[in-house]
Amino acid sequence: MSGYYYVLPQGADKDSTPIQCRGRGIFKKRGESPLVGDLVEFEATENGEGTVDFILPRVSELIRPQVANIDLAVLVFSLTEPALSLTLLDKFLVHIEHAGIQALLCLSKQDLAREGEDTEAAQHMMQEVIRIYEPIGYEVMTTSSSQGDGTELLLGRLQGHLSVFAGQSGVGKSSLLNALVPGLSLETNAISNKLGRGKHTTRHVELVSIGDGYVADTPGFSQLDFTELGIEELGSCFREMRELAPDCKFRGCTHMHEPDCAVLDAMEAGTIAASRYENYLQFMAEMKEKKRRY
């Protein structure tokens, strides 16, 4: 309902009905707005509702979807149908790194990758993801919602976290949530319907209890606009480049043409994946083009 926030009091059972609250007028004056995931101070009113008085400092904030205090982003990419795009995966990772959130790469539809027509290509892509992303510190899991493969492991990984599932349309996010949270079919069907062809966003974000954690049941991010996200130093959003940057000769090195660049040296030595560096160059070009338009 417009203008209302639903607050679960600290210590209350997760199945309890949240308290319907209004926000104090001071939020509008400050240009602030409580987000899903916020920790707040609220005061009960006589009619059984409440007012949100104060928003506690956030540990993270995402623009798409609008959600606060996420500490784990599960990036769901299918091994087939649709085929996995490393460029899109790196775009998501840039967004997550920029927000300072831990990322878990979840490769879905493992059953189709074993049995489908594109089995060889899908298996090769799975190995590529493991080869490229595990050495730079990303955790990679493979799952199959229909077969139940990997779902128990993923469920355990989500405990104690406030997580968000993100990925392009059709990768199986809703099926995965259904497998993880029995009885969630209505919510995930609603998400799936909103993710029809040409529709990639939802305005409604809600936290779903998942054992000792919560998952934001949102389709995740769609248009990843670096300029809108306020990303200036793109290299800092690539883990391996961020680690090497202090060894570059020039401060603020773009890692594109400067002499004595530690990133370019690593590229020549083969310790940085070619696909990652190519995507970095592509994203830099996108950012420059966007700035020219403004």
Known binding positions: 108-111, 167-175, 248, 253, 255, 261
DSSP secondary structure letters along 16-48: SPPEEEEEPHHHHHHT----BT--EEEEE-TTS
Binding site, annotated residues for GTP = 108-111, 167-175
Binding site, annotated residues for Zn(2+) = 248, 253, 255, 261
Torsion region of 186: left, alpha or beta (phi above 0 gives left; psi -120 to 50 gives alpha): alpha
What H or E segment, with its residue span, contains residue 244?
A: helix 239-244
Sequence length of the chain is: 294
What H or E segment, with its residue span, contains residue 62?
A: strand 61-62
The residues, ordered by sequence, that sit 6+ positions from 256 with a Cβ below 8 Å of its Cβ are 281, 284
Q: Which two structure tokens, joined as six digits, stand for 49?
A: 């509702």
Residue 208 · residue 184 · CB < 8 Å: yes
Q: How far apart are CA 112 and CA 133, in angstroms?
A: 22
